[in-house]
Amino acid sequence: MNPTTPITAVWLGRPYPQGATWDGQGVNFALYSENADKVELCLFDAQGRREVQRIVMPEQTDLVWHCYLPEARPGMLYG
């Protein structure tokens, strides 16, 4: 993924494993939070200096927020 090309597909993904997991086709993101009402995944430019996109993680299972980005690739900077 080019850091300036927006992610257009956000799938529900899986709650485990936690963290960012590349499966050879896309990246699953899973984050545990007991208190969150909403979680947003922030994507940054290649230098990590500028946020280029913010994605709401749409699903929560057992206090784990998750989404799958089929367009994401290893090396993408996120927070």
Considering Cα of 4, then 14, then 75, then 40, what sign does the dihedral take? positive
* Angstrom distance (rounded) from CA 48 to CA 43: 9
Domain residue ranges in the chain? 19-78
pTM for this prediction: 0.91
Average pLDDT over every residue of 9-29: 97
pLDDT for 3 beyond 60: no
Percent residues over pLDDT 90 in the chain: 92
Closest of 4, 2, 15, 1 to residue 53, by C-alpha: 4
With left for phi above 0 and alpha for psi between -120 and 50, is residue 63 left, alpha or beta?
A: left
Fold of the domain built from segment(s) 19-78: Immunoglobulin-like (2.60.40)
- pLDDT at position 2 is 58
pLDDT for 18 beyond 90: yes
